[in-house]
Amino acid sequence: MIVPFTKNSTCIFPVTNYNYIYGHKPCQSNKRKEVNAMRKKLNITEGIFPMPVLMVATYNEDGSVNVMNAAWGTMQERGNVALNLTETHKTVKNIKARGAFTVSIADAAHVAEADYFGVESGNKNADKFENSGLTASKAETVDAPVINEFPLCLECEFIEYQDNPYGCGVIGRVVNATADESVISGDKIDISLVNAIAFDPYTHGYYKVTERVGEAFKDGLKLKK
């Protein structure tokens, strides 16, 4: 139980009815406050929002391109990517065979194509990428394709596959990162120009991520005391 106190240092009684037995008023505090906000229970789902919409591209055995839509992915550390993918995915089979893959950030201009890469299986449809109407080029540094229409791409070398109960799946090392000139401002990437999309696991929607609302590692300094 959180017990509020007044500024009076001699007040030691918690806020209960028996305080009045001793002639003391309940203690109140401006420092410790509990707000009983109304909150609704939700069904447990992936839970984190926003989740990324990652386009993971690989080469098939015959050299054709395969792409999948992955939401369960993140940077494991500054130079490593972790993709929580099961080994049944065609993408994982290709990664193990080729030792490489690329990760692109899906954008608002290609929502339909990005979603298609998530609902169509590369195990069942060998023409999956061709059906999307998108184009690809070979990556500069790894044996994997770069999807030309997506403006930001990470080229990755395969490190390992973690298959223990709490393993992260595919782990890759980023060896090159490229961006289309259309999203470059000066000599830096302008994320607002990427028009990246995020996945909402609660309602299965896609949302555009564009507006800059603050400065990381700076705005919070005003609250430090």
Q: For 91-102, give one letter per residue: b (16+ CB within 10 A) or e.
A: bbbbbeebebbb
* Under-50 pLDDT residues of the chain: 1-22
pLDDT of residue 26: 52
* Report field, pTM of the whole predicted structure over 0.85: no
pLDDT of residue 46: 65
Q: What is the DSSP letter of 130?
A: H
pLDDT of residue 102: 98
pLDDT of residue 28: 54
Q: What is the DSSP letter of 166?
A: T
Long-range contacts of 123-129 (CB under 8 A, 24+ apart): 123/88, 123/89, 123/90, 126/60, 126/64, 128/66, 128/67, 129/64, 129/65, 129/66, 129/67
pLDDT of residue 166: 86
Taking the C-alpha atoms of residue 176 and residue 199, their distance in angstroms, rounded to an integer, is 25
- For tokens 């500054």, the residue is 78
Taking the C-alpha atoms of residue 147 and residue 155, their distance in angstroms, rounded to an integer, is 11
Residues across the chain: 225
| Domains with residue ranges and CATH for the chain | 1-39 (no CATH), 52-209 (2.30.110.10)
pLDDT of residue 42: 79
